[in-house]
Amino acid sequence: MRKTIFKKLEAQGLIANYNRLRKNLPPKLPERIFIWDETFREGIKAPTVYLTYVEQVKLAKLMDESGVSVINVGFPALSEEIKRSVGKIVNESFEHAKLTASAEPTKQSIDACLECGIKDVTIEAPINGLNLQYRFKITKKQALQRIVDSITYCKDHGANVNFMLMDGTRTPVEDILQVFQQAAEAGVARLGLADSVGFIRPLSMRYLISHIRDGLSESVKRKVPLSIHCHNDFGLATANTLAAMEEGASYIHTCVAGFGERAGIAPFEEVVTCTELLYNIDTGIDLGKISRISQTAEKAFALPIQFHKPIIGENIFAHEVEDDVEEMLAHPLVFEPFPPEIVGRETTVFIGRNTGQNLIPEMLEKAGIKATPRQMDELFRRIKGPNEGLDKGEAQMTYYQVKKLMKDLQKGYAMDEFWRLVEQITRQKPKVSSDKKSSA
C-alpha cells in the first residue's frame, strides 16, 4: 500500500512528490535500514520512570513482532535490579530481534552483561578531551587501549561486540577515525556514533558521517555497518538521524515516542514512517503496529503522549468539519499526508465550535431532518457549549492539579534534599558544601 498510493497520485498528475526525484535521492542511502530500539536503555532514563518486568516483556515482544532488529535491554552493571531484569528477559524467546546490553569498557561492566547470558554486548565510551579530562581523568591513549581491551575481552568470552562512541558529534573526526579503525580491527560487528547532547544539525551530521565513511579503510567500510544515536535537545533528533542515514548509516537507534533522558532520542514512529514513506526504504517494521506500540509504551511509562505528536498524537488524524463532509472525505489525502491505516490509526471527523453555521442546516437537510429555529438554536448551543460553558478558572485549576500530580510522580530527590535525607538516616553531616550539593 505504501509503495503504490503515492505513485498512483503522481501518475494521475494529482500531486508532485519531490522526495522521489532522482537528484534528491542521496547516493549513499542504504538499501535496507535496521531499527535498533533503545527504549529499555534510554526510555527509562526519563525521571523516575519504572517498568515492571511484565511491562518490559510485553513491550519487547510487541517490538519483536513488529520487526525491530535489535533491542537494547539495559545496562546490567548499573544495579542488581537491572541485572536481574536483563537476565530474565534474555531467557524469553524472540523471533526477529537480537538482544544487546550496554557496558562501559571495563571487565566489571562487561561481566555483568555476560552473567546475564547476553551474547551481544554494546561497549559505550567517549574519547574527546572534555570527557577524558573532566569525567574519566585519563589520556586518549589510555582510553583507546581500554576500548580495544574490552572488545577483545568480550570476544574471548564468546560475545558479539558493538562499539558506540559517546559524544561522537563533538569529537574531532581524526580521533573518531582512529578509534573506529582500532575497534573494527579488534572485531566489532557495528560502529556507532552518538550525538549525546543533541548538539549537531543535519547538514553538519551529513558532513561528519561522510568524512567518517571516506576516512575508514575499505575493508571496514565493507564489513562493519554504521549506527547512529541522536538526542533531541534541539528538536533535531529525527532530522539528524535521517541525515546520517542519507550518508550510509544503516542501524538506526530509536525510542518509542522519543522518550528518554532530557528531551529523549529519535522517536521510533517518526524515523520508521519517514524512512518507509519519504525514502521508500524497507525498515522491516510492520507499520500497522506503530500505534499499538506507542499506546503500550505510554501506559507503561505513565507519561502522556502530546496530542500534537507526529504520527501517534491524538490530533494528527482528527479534523473539524469546515466544509461539506462528503467533499472532505472524497479523498482523505487532500488533508492528510498519508492514509492513517498505514500506522494503525483512523481518520476522525468531528463537528465543533468552528464548523460553519450555514453548513449544519445543510447537513440536516441532506439527512432528511427538519429542525425548527428553536431546535437549531439548542443544537448550536450544545455544540459550542463544552468550551464556552466551561468555567475557565476551574478548567485551569484542574489542569495545574494534573500537571502537579505528573511532576510529583516523576520527581526524584534534588541534591540538597538527598543530602538532608542522608543526614537524617545516618546522623552524619555530609562533608560537601551547600553550593556543591545544589549543583552536583
| CATH at residue 27 | 3.20.20.70
Same domain flag for 297 and 328 = no
Same domain flag for 222 and 327 = no
Same domain flag for 168 and 238 = yes
CA 171 to chain centre: 23
Collapsing DSSP states into helix, strand and coil, what is residue 98? strand
Same domain flag for 104 and 147 = yes
CA distances from 88 to 39, 83, 286 (A): 17, 9, 26
- CA-nearest of 208, 227, 289 to 37 is 227
Same domain flag for 245 and 337 = no
Same domain flag for 268 and 182 = yes
Number of domains in the chain: 3
Helix, strand counts (H, E) of the chain: 18, 10
Same domain flag for 396 and 276 = no
Q: Is residue 339 part of a domain?
A: yes
DSSP label at residue 138: -
Q: Is residue 4 part of a domain?
A: no
Give residue 410's domain range: 392-439
Handedness of CA 358, 363, 368, 369 (dihedral sign): negative
Report the C-alpha gap between 423 and 128 in whole angstroms. Answer: 37
Cell, residue 393: 478558572
Q: Is residue 254 part of a domain?
A: yes
Instruction: Output the pLDDT for position 326.
Output: 65
| Cα angle value 341/346/348 (rounded, 5°) | 155
Same domain flag for 77 and 204 = yes
Q: Is residue 357 part of a domain?
A: no
Average pLDDT, 10 consecutive residues per value, the chain (440 residues): 76 88 90 96 80 93 97 95 94 96 97 97 97 94 98 97 98 98 97 98 98 95 96 98 98 96 95 96 96 95 90 90 68 87 90 75 86 87 65 77 75 78 87 51
Give the residue carrying C-alpha cell 522517536: 267
Residue 265 contacts residue 232 (beta carbons within 8 Å): yes
Report the C-alpha gap between 399 and 414 in whole angstroms. Answer: 25
Same domain flag for 195 and 98 = yes
Same domain flag for 295 and 335 = no
Residue 258 contacts residue 251 (beta carbons within 8 Å): no
Q: Is residue 289 part of a domain?
A: yes
Q: Which of 301, 332, 356 is the last residue of a domain?
A: 301
Report the C-alpha gap between 234 and 311 in whole angstroms. Answer: 20
Cell, residue 388: 464556552
| Cα angle value 179/180/181 (rounded, 5°) | 90
Report the C-alpha gap between 82 and 73 in whole angstroms. Answer: 9
Same domain flag for 282 and 325 = no
- pTM for this entry: 0.89
Q: Is residue 379 part of a domain?
A: no
Report the C-alpha gap between 316 and 338 in whole angstroms. Answer: 11
Instruction: Output the pLDDT for position 389.
Output: 52
Q: Is residue 13 part of a domain?
A: no
Report the C-alpha gap between 12 and 333 in whole angstroms. Answer: 14
Instruction: Output the pLDDT for position 437.
Output: 46
Same domain flag for 324 and 218 = no
Q: Is residue 369 part of a domain?
A: no
Neighbours of 7 (CB within 10 A): 12
